[in-house]
Amino acid sequence: MVVGSDRMRRRLPRQVLEATLSAALFIGVAGCGGPESFTVSELCGRKVDSALVAPFLPKGETLKVDDGISAPEQPRCQVYVDGDLHLYVRGNIDKADFDILKATERSMRRLGNPAPARGIGDGATIADHGAMAVQACTYKGEKSQYILEIDWVDTPKNTAERREALEKLLRAHLPVIMEAEGCRP
């Protein structure tokens, strides 16, 4: 009995150690399946600084960037996290004599508190949940204008941060997407 007790004493710490290591490993593996931060380096088939898109993407399990809804002269893309739309980017080439900012004033109001943004294209509006910019350009030898719209934006939760992030993305992405579409300023 004494020999058996010694054996039990030697085994017990090893069993406790194994159980503790198993529990730690399980917790570590379970933690790996948690929400992730995502990186998006292309919008509508055009390169974009991933740091400019990151503020709009909450942590989650899955990321989907759908640019299959694009057409010639009309790049479109939607960015989903866990199946929820968090960013919708649309570009259009239109006639130069059409005042898109005035025409879309009502729809910009639905995005919350639209205000002009200086230094972006020929005119831009930033709202609480979206933004729009217009830039005159020449497309296929004709005077045109390029319109870039961004909406369905609810992240970051702080409105001032969200508006600032929208302005940065709009400012950086407008010239990139215009050039890619062949609409020269």
3-state secondary structure 82-127: CCEEEEEEEEEEEECCCCHHHHCHHHHHHCCCCEECCCCCCEEEEC
State residue 6's pLDDT score.
45
The label of the residue with tokens 């649309």 reads: 90
Type of residue numbered 55: P
User: d(Cα 116, Cα 98) in Å, to the nearest integer?
Assistant: 18
Residues with Cβ < 8 Å from 23, sequence gap 6 or more? none
pTM: predicted TM-score of the whole model, two decimal places: 0.78
State residue 72's pLDDT score.
77
User: d(Cα 38, Cα 47) in Å, to the nearest integer?
Assistant: 16
Helix (H, G, I), strand (E, B), or coil: what is residue 155? coil
State residue 34's pLDDT score.
58
State residue 3's pLDDT score.
47
User: d(Cα 133, Cα 169) in Å, to the nearest integer?
Assistant: 11
Residues with Cβ < 8 Å from 156, sequence gap 6 or more? 55, 56, 162, 165
- Is-contact 90 74, C-beta < 8 A? yes
Q: Where are the domains of the chain?
A: 1-33, 42-184
User: d(Cα 54, Cα 155) in Å, to the nearest integer?
Assistant: 10
Token output for 72: 């010639």
- Is-contact 100 147, C-beta < 8 A? yes
Task: Give me the residues of the chain with pLDDT under 70, please.
Answer: 1-34
